[in-house]
């Protein structure tokens, strides 16, 4: 891959028409599918709002409008790609371009189009400010490209103005509500923020490589030029590492917008080095500081293992001994390439034992060194190579320990160990850059394998696809990151359906939990009502049995189905009071009043018995039995037992035994922690550890409007625990709940690696 830097002019320039076509191809490849990627997150947000039950009237209209947009997704994507393409054609021949995307400026403008235009203008200004520096570089190089084509300079085809106009032209004719329009713009802005930094860097690299750049002096030719660029990369990176405060620089960059490229490792020849000119100095400083801090932790951790005897003698760094030559990066990469296609049995066994993977990687590399003619007694790894090996080992170990991966997934990861060692050796950006292709692929493979026991055909297909892709990486990866990009795109397309199933699983879990809560609340209210009436005095067995069984069941049904109808609820409650009064009239031998009372109650009593599943004949028979019991004034009357507490369902009891048994027995909670738990919202990730020590990543999927309890689901959308804020506070106080887990597996694994290093140090 090219390692040319921005600002270097080649002796010859490529054909401008071909360069423009390449820019168009890469732009469409990066942005062409954007309209189709907007609807899923918006649908998730609408569902989350509906589950909150905030009572907004426009949710149904938004969902209906979004459903219509989803049906037209293919045409929207096609129209968007066409508009992007027209931007490049307008740049090629400005005189033939139509004045403005979306119609003639003299045309009457509707209210919806005006709203889209106003929102679009605001977004254009925001993007112009955010990407000012890379845009200036793109514009300057496009101007040189236009001059080479002999055409006047046109509108930047990849600038914010064109990208926003292409977006608004797709939706101005669609029927969308005001709130849905705002959601579309917000999601489009988020998608652009995720893609534009990397895309502008790529386009700048294409233009610079083709010779359309600003001269900075004659570059050295041939091998001398490559060596000069390598020295410049090394000096620049070392200078940043030595001068930038780690924490402060890293904190100065918004975490979600680190879109630029990261500094290359010394000797790296990947395309990421060429993209460095599109990154601000603050971003470079933050990325370099993060890498430097990570390496400092590694060095302290490794030094501690050496002093404590935690490393076998054959694995300890031997750079301080005489006659030891540090291996070059390309030599170690050659060893890894030799070992890459070999069976991964040794790595699979190492993954089964925590802490053994780094030792196994070094053993295998030493074996590769012998095969290539290197004497391990006379050579050693450099500090950077030791860092790469240890980071890969810690990363894979963390992934396998903390993400509920089944044993059958171990071989999938074992195959990837050596390719990722090569990636770490040649491109350390993988550990800090969220959009790195190798990082995204590992996230997708973990998503496919985590908690997947292959029970359903879809799960088995997902495991097989992940296994096939890991095998393809082994066979195809030769220091070209495009292999990871293509593999990720293929697996991510399959995961899209898997995510949809997870969303449905989460919704079913939320609805089932809400249904259980409503049923539990109704039963509690009914039991309380029964207690109040039975505790009033001595009753005949017939009346007490009627109140504690048919009437209680009828009251539960009314509370569940018609709780919002106060008349039906009052009528059901009044029946219980009337039966107690009828029993009192019978005890006082007030026959006429009792007869009038029972005649008035007969329709309601029959209805109550029918709600318990009795047909009309059985209801009439039960009614007759009640009348016979009340017809005898001296019928025995006694106190009757209170209804027992409702039994907890077995699956609910099991999850509470799994996570809450000890904490519930201790009782008490920290009010500050409980308040922190009440601030959690759907979508927040946590790490939950069971009483048996098993740790799983869980997400807050739903907040109960009835009890304020939180539904936690795992990464496959399966219910893990439903608990109150106070119960979660007890879990957090005992160290078995950690708030703030990362959304992606790689991020969370690196977070665990840093915590492990900090803890050991």
Top-confidence residue, 529 or 565: 529
Average pLDDT, the chain: 76
pLDDT in the model for residue 423: 93
Banded pLDDT at 649 (limits 50, 70, 90):
low
Dist CA 182 CA 392 (whole Å) = 42
Q: Most confidently modeled of 66-70, 135-139, 666-670? A: 135-139
CA distance 430 to 387: 13
pLDDT digits (tens, 9 = 90+) for 238-295: 332 232 333 333 333 333 333 333 333 333 333 333 333 344 556 666 667 777 888 8
- When mean pLDDT is compared across 411-420, 701-710, 731-740, the lowest value belongs to 731-740
Can you name the residues that pair with 405 across neighbouring β-strands? 450
Least confident of 53-62, 335-344, 476-485: 53-62
What pLDDT does 422 receive? 93
Question: Mean pLDDT: which of 113-117, 542-546, 714-718 is highest?
Answer: 714-718
For residue range 426-442, list pLDDT tens digits in order.
Answer: 888 888 888 889 999 99
Long-range contacts formed by 149-155: CB under 8 A, 24+ apart: 149/16, 149/17, 149/20, 149/92, 151/92, 151/93, 151/94, 152/94, 152/95, 153/94, 154/90, 154/91, 154/92, 154/94, 154/97, 155/87, 155/90, 155/91, 155/94, 155/97
pLDDT band at 100 (very low <50, low <70, confident <90, very high): very low
Residue 107 has pLDDT above 80, yes or no: no
In which band, very low, low, confident or very high, does the pLDDT at 106 lie, cut at 50, 70 and 90? Answer: very low
Q: Which residues, 6+ apart, have CB-to-CB distance to 733 below 8 Å?
A: 669, 670, 673
Torsion of CA 397, 403, 405, 410, to 10 degrees: -20
Query: Encoding tokens for residue 666?
Result: 């201790």
Please indicate whether residue 198 or residue 160 has the higher confidence score (pLDDT): 160
**Is pLDDT larger for residue 621 or for residue 108?**
621
User: Can you tell me the mean pLDDT for 448-455?
Assistant: 81
**What pLDDT does residue 64 have?**
80
User: What residues does 710 pair with on adjacent strands?
Assistant: 703, 723
Supply the pTM of this predicted model.
0.53
Which of the residue ranges 47-61, 100-114, 325-339, 656-670 would you say has the lowest mean pLDDT? 100-114
Q: What is the pLDDT of residue 580?
A: 79
- pLDDT for 122: 85
Position 522 scores a pLDDT of 85
Q: Over 60: is that where the pLDDT of 405 sits?
A: yes
pLDDT of 315 over the 70 cut:
no
For the chain, percent of residues with pLDDT exceeding 90: 7
- Gyration radius of the chain's alpha carbons: 34
pLDDT at 255: 32
pLDDT digits (tens, 9 = 90+) for 122-134: 888 888 888 888 8
Of the ranges 12-16, 702-706, 713-717, 748-752, which is most confident? 702-706
At residue 473, the pLDDT reads 92
Long-range contacts of 123-128 (CB under 8 A, 24+ apart): 123/160, 123/164, 123/185, 123/188, 123/189, 124/160, 124/161, 124/164, 126/189, 127/160, 127/163, 127/164, 127/189, 127/192, 127/196, 128/159, 128/160
Confidence of residue 643 (pLDDT cuts 50, 70, 90): low
**What's the length of the chain?**
761
Position 95 pLDDT exceeds 90: no
Confidence bin at 223 (pLDDT 50/70/90):
very low
Angle at 478 between CA 474 and CA 483, to 5 degrees: 70
| 6-15, 264-273, 465-474: segment of lowest average pLDDT | 264-273
- Specify the 3-state DSSP secondary structure of 738: strand
Query: Helix 410-426 to helix 437-449 angle, to the nearest 10 degrees?
Result: 170
* Mean pLDDT lowest among 23-27, 142-146, 189-193, 635-639: 635-639
- Residue 110 has what pLDDT? 66
Q: What is the 3-state secondary structure (H, E, C) of 54-66?
A: CCCCCHHHHHHHH
pLDDT at position 462 over 80: yes
DSSP string, 338-401: HHTTS--HHHHHHHTSTT-HHHHHHHHHHHHHHHTT--TTTEE--HHHHHHHHHHHHHHHHHHH
Q: What is the DSSP letter of 453?
A: -
CA distance 354 to 399: 11
Who has greater pLDDT, 655 or 251? Answer: 655
pLDDT at 374: 84
> Between these two residues, 310 and 615, which has the higher pLDDT value?
615
Where are the chain's structural domains?
16-221, 223-237+245-250+280-503, 513-631, 649-760
pLDDT of residue 276: 37
Kindly tell me if the per-residue pLDDT of 171 is higher than 60: yes
Six token digits for residue 91: 């740049």
> Which residue did the predictor score with more confidence, 15 or 347?
347
Coil/strand/helix, residue 722? strand
pLDDT greater than 80 at residue 18: yes
Using pLDDT thresholds of 50, 70 and 90, give the confidence band for residue 639.
low
Report d(CA 448, CA 499) in Å as an integer: 10
Calculate mean pLDDT across residues 159-170. Answer: 89
In angstroms, the CA 691 to CA 676 distance is 23
| pLDDT exceeds cutoff 80 at 304 | no
Cα–Cα dist 161/144, whole Å:
20
Which residue do the tokens 């589950």 mark?
51
Confidence of residue 444 (pLDDT cuts 50, 70, 90): very high
> What are 695-727's pLDDT values in tens digits?
788 889 998 888 888 999 987 888 889 988 888
Q: Which residue has the higher pLDDT, 148 or 561?
A: 148
Question: How is residue 403 written in tokens?
Answer: 């993400």
**Of 12-16, 157-161, 398-402, which range is least confident?**
12-16
Rounded to an integer, what distance in angstroms lies between the CA atom of residue 206 and that of residue 221? 20
pLDDT greater than 50 at residue 320: no
Answer whether residue 218 shows pLDDT above 80: no
């Amino acid at each position: 891959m090219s390692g040319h830097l921005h600002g270097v002019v080649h002796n010859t320039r490529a054909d401008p028409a071909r360069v423009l076509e390449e820019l168009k191809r890469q732009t469409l490849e990066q942005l062409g599918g954007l309209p189709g990627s907007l609807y899923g997150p918006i649908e998730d947000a609408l569902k989350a709002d509906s589950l909150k039950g905030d009572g907004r009237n426009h949710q149904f209209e938004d969902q209906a409008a979004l459903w219509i947009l989803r049906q037209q997704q293919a045409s929207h994507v096609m129209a968007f790609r066409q508009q992007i393409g027209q931007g490049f054609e307008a740049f090629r021949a400005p005189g033939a371009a139509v004045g403005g995307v979306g119609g003639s400026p003299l045309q009457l403008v509707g209210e919806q189009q005006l709203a889209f235009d106003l929102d679009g203008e605001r977004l254009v200004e925001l993007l112009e400010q955010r990407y000012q520096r890379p845009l200036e570089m793109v514009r300057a190089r496009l101007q040189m490209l236009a001059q080479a084509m002999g055409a006047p300079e046109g509108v930047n085809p990849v600038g914010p103005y064109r990208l926003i106009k292409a977006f608004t032209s797709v939706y101005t004719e669609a029927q969308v509500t005001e709130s849905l329009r705002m959601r579309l713009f917000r999601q489009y802005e988020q998608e652009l923020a995720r893609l534009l930094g990397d895309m502008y860097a790529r386009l700048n690299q294409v233009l610079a490589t083709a010779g359309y750049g600003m001269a900075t002096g004659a570059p050295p030719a041939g091998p001398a030029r490559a060596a000069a660029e390598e020295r410049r990369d090394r000096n620049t990176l070392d200078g940043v590492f030595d001068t930038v405060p780690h924490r402060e620089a890293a904190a100065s960059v918004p975490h979600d917008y680190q879109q630029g490229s990261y500094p290359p490792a010394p000797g790296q020849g990947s395309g990421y080095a060429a993209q460095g000119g599109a990154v601000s100095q603050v971003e470079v400083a933050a990325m370099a500081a993060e890498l430097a801090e990570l390496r400092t932790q590694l060095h302290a951790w490794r030094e501690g293992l050496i002093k404590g005897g935690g490393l076998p003698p054959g694995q300890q760094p031997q750079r301080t001994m005489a006659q030891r030559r540090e291996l070059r990066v390309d030599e170690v990469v050659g060893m890894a390439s030799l070992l890459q296609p070999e069976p991964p049995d040794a790595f699979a066994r190492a993954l089964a034992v925590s802490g053994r993977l780094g030792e196994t990687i070094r053993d295998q590399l030493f074996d590769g060194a012998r095969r290539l003619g290197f004497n391990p007694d006379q050579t050693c790894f450099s500090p950077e190579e030791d860092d790469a090996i240890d980071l890969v080992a810690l990363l894979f170990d963390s992934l396998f320990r903390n993400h509920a991966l089944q044993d059958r997934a171990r071989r999938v990861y074992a195959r990837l160990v050596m390719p990722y060692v090569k990636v770490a050796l040649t491109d350390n950006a993988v550990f800090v850059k969220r959009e790195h292709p190798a990082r995204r692929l590992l996230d997708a493979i973990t998503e496919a394998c985590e908690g997947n026991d292959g029970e359903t055909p879809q799960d088995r297909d997902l495991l097989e696809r992940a296994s096939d892709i890991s095998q393809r990486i082994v066979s195809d990866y030769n220091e070209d990151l495009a292999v990871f990009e293509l593999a990720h795109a293929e697996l991510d397309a399959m995961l899209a359906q898997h995510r949809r199933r997870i969303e449905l699983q989460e919704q079913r879990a939320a609805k089932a939990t809400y249904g259980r809560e409503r049923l539990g609340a109704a039963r509690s209210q009914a039991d309380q009502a029964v207690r109040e009436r039975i505790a009033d005095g001595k009753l005949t067995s017939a009346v007490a049995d009627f109140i504690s069984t048919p009437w209680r069941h009828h009251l539960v049904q009314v509370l569940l189905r018609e709780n919002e109808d106060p008349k039906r609820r009052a009528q059901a409650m009044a029946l219980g009071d009337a039966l107690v009064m009828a029993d009192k009239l019978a005890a006082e031998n007030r026959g006429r009043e009792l007869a009038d009372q029972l005649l008035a109650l007969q329709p309601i009593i029959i209805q109550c018995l029918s709600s318990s599943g009795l047909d009309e004949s059985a209801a009439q028979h039960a009614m007759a039995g009640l009348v016979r019991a009340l017809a005898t004034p001296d019928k025995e009357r006694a106190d009757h037992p209170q209804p027992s507490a409702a039994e907890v369902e077995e699956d609910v009891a099991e999850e509470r035994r799994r996570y809450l048994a000890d904490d519930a027995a201790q009782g008490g909670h920290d009010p500050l922690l409980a308040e922190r738990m009440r601030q959690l919202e759907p979508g927040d990730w946590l790490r939950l550890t069971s009483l048996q020590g098993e740790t799983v990543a869980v997400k807050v999927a739903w907040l109960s409007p009835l009890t304020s309890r939180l539904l936690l689901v795992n990464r496959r959308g399966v219910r893990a625990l439903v608990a109150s804020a106070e119960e979660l506070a007890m879990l957090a106080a005992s160290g078995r709940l950690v708030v703030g887990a990362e959304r992606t597996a790689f991020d969370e694994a690196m977070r665990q690696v840093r915590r492990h290093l900090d803890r050991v140090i």
